[in-house]
């Protein structure tokens, strides 16, 4: 676990954020950057506040969150199941682990045009790209976690008479759990990024869709407000998932 940050480090982090805001403010003073390209902070925050107070964003937000939840659920179930099956045999691990790791290194977003053809412009293609991207860290970490359980634990459990189910439930699973959890966290975060990316490329609804259509209408301030909202969402998802990971780890220690 990371040591708690001191007040000094917090101040530096805050300082960097303030510096960006100041640069933004100074850069968009009259006579500098064209406000159509980069609107000044004040109207952006005014629009952001409106976004939070009126409910016009909820339908699009729900579309994105729904796509994300479905993608993560499919990736988690498929990744953990396949990872478990592969980890059962050392031979399968030697064959499939490098193969999956190799496929993982291909930028999966390249599949998105294909998914658009297969699943259409709606949620289907976003769920497909989110699932594809989240699947790999989940399956790879499940294999790594289960295949690398200390042999001494297994030997000790067997010497005491553990059957296959007990060995899996009481030894393999808790030993592998932290590694699997890390895979799930990574999957959750990159699935959200992929879905937002997919929505900005081609979609009918969702946060990414909103941002692109506002950009096309030259509503720069509103577009930036929506970007801020999306960034905030990513932060929240990261926070929630990391918190769940830490809790999950502690539950098993």
Binding site for other proteins (CB under 8 A): 152-153, 155-163, 166, 170-171, 174-175, 177, 252-253
Sorted by sequence, the CB contacts under 8 Å of residue 201 that are 6+ apart come out as: 112, 208
Question: Please, what is the minimum distance in Å from the beta carbon of residue 175 to other proteins?
Answer: 8
For residue 148, give the DSSP letter.
T
The Cβ of residue 156 has, within 10 Å, a number of other Cβ atoms equal to 12
Given the complex with other proteins, which of 166 and 238 has the nearer CB atom?
A: 166
The CA angle 209-43-65, to the nearest 5 degrees, is 30
Given the complex with other proteins, which of 157 and 244 has the nearer CB atom?
A: 157
Question: Please, what is the minimum distance in Å from the beta carbon of residue 140 to other proteins?
Answer: 22
Question: Please, what is the minimum distance in Å from the beta carbon of residue 243 to other proteins?
Answer: 20
Q: H-helix or E-strand containing 95?
A: helix 90-104
Locate 164 and state its tokens. 């296959």
Given the complex with other proteins, which of 86 and 144 has the nearer CB atom?
A: 144
Closest of 188, 83, 182 to residue 131, by C-alpha: 188
State the virtual CA torsion across 107, 109, 110, 115 in degrees, nearest 10. Answer: 140
Given the complex with other proteins, which of 54 and 253 has the nearer CB atom?
A: 253
Question: Please, what is the minimum distance in Å from the beta carbon of residue 158 to other proteins?
Answer: 6
CA distance 148 to 186: 20
Given the complex with other proteins, which of 53 and 159 has the nearer CB atom?
A: 159
Helices (H) and strands (E) in the chain, counts: 11, 0
Given the complex with other proteins, which of 182 and 202 has the nearer CB atom?
A: 182
Question: Please, what is the minimum distance in Å from the beta carbon of residue 91 to other proteins?
Answer: 18
Question: Please, what is the minimum distance in Å from the beta carbon of residue 145 to other proteins?
Answer: 13
């Amino acid at each position: 676990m990371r040591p708690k940050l001191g007040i000094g480090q917090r101040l530096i982090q805050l300082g960097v954020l303030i510096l960006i805001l100041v640069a933004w403010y100074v850069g968009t003073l009259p006579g500098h950057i064209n406000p159509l390209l980069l609107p000044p902070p004040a109207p952006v925050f005014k629009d952001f506040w409106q976004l939070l107070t009126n409910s016009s964003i909820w339908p699009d937000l729900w579309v994105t969150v729904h796509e994300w939840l479905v993608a993560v659920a499919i990736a988690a179930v498929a990744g953990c199941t396949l990872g478990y099956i592969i980890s059962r045999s050392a031979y399968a691990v030697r064959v499939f682990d490098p193969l999956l790791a190799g496929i993982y290194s291909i930028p999966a977003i390249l599949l998105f045009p294909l998914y658009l053809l297969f699943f259409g412009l709606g949620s289907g293609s976003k769920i497909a790209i989110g699932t594809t991207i989240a699947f790999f860290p989940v399956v790879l970490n499940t294999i790594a976690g289960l295949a690398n359980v200390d042999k001494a634990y297994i030997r000790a459990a067997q010497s005491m008479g553990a059957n296959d189910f007990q060995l899996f439930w009481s030894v393999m699973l808790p030993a592998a759990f932290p590694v699997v959890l890390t895979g799930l966290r990574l999957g959750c975060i990159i699935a959200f990024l992929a879905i937002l990316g997919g929505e900005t490329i081609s979609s009918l609804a969702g946060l990414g869709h909103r941002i692109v259509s506002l950009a096309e209408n030259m509503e720069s301030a509103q577009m930036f407000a929506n970007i801020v909202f999306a960034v905030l969402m990513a932060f929240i998802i990261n926070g929630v998932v990391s918190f769940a990971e830490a809790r999950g780890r502690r539950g098993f220690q």
